[in-house]
């Protein structure tokens, strides 16, 4: 079908670009995307819970909480990259209706 589109549009002589080949070869299947999402989200939840538990350790508890809770949030947000893809997620994050929430989260 792609070859037919290239012939009809007059681009039959063009070789596929290297970037197009890389994109085609690195795309993940739906099952792999869901597995990546679940794994990354589970790690994020585990880090957040661990950070909350470590809060009660004397002296270094606050630092450990901040580190693990931040890593948990990053992993949980990053897990949606598997479902949408990075560019689509960034476009949606910076839509006008979500811009304030994105800025607050990043700061």
What does the alpha-carbon distance between residue 40 and residue 101 come to, in Å, rounded to a whole number? 22
What does the alpha-carbon distance between residue 22 and residue 26 come to, in Å, rounded to a whole number? 6
Residue 17 φ/ψ, nearest 5 degrees: -70, 160
**10-37: average pLDDT:** 68
Give this prediction's pTM.
Answer: 0.66
Three-class SS state of 102: helix
Q: Which of 52, 94, 45, 93 is nearest to 73 (CA)?
A: 45
Q: Interior CA angle at 45 toward 68 and 62, to 5°? A: 25
User: Would you list the domain boundaries of the chain?
Assistant: 29-106
The answer to whether residues 47 and 68 touch, using CB atoms and an 8 Å cutoff, is: yes
- CB within 8 Å of 69: residues ≥ 6 apart: 47, 48, 51, 52
- Residue-level pLDDT at 38: 94
Share of the chain above pLDDT 90, in %: 35
What does the alpha-carbon distance between residue 22 and residue 20 come to, in Å, rounded to a whole number? 5
For the stretch 46-80, pLDDT in tens is 999 999 998 888 889 899 999 999 999 999 988 98
């Amino acid at each position: 079908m792609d070859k037919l589109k290239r012939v009809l549009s007059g681009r039959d002589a063009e070789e596929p670009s290297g970037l197009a080949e890389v994109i085609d070869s690195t795309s993940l299947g739906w099952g792999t995307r869901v597995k990546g999402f679940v794994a990354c989200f589970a790690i994020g939840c585990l880090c957040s819970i661990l950070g909350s538990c470590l809060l009660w350790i004397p002296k270094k508890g606050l630092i450990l909480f901040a580190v693990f809770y931040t890593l948990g949030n990053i992993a949980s947000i990053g897990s949606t990259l598997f479902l949408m893809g990075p560019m689509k997620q960034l476009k949606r994050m910076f839509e006008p209706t979500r811009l304030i929430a994105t800025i607050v989260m990043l700061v």
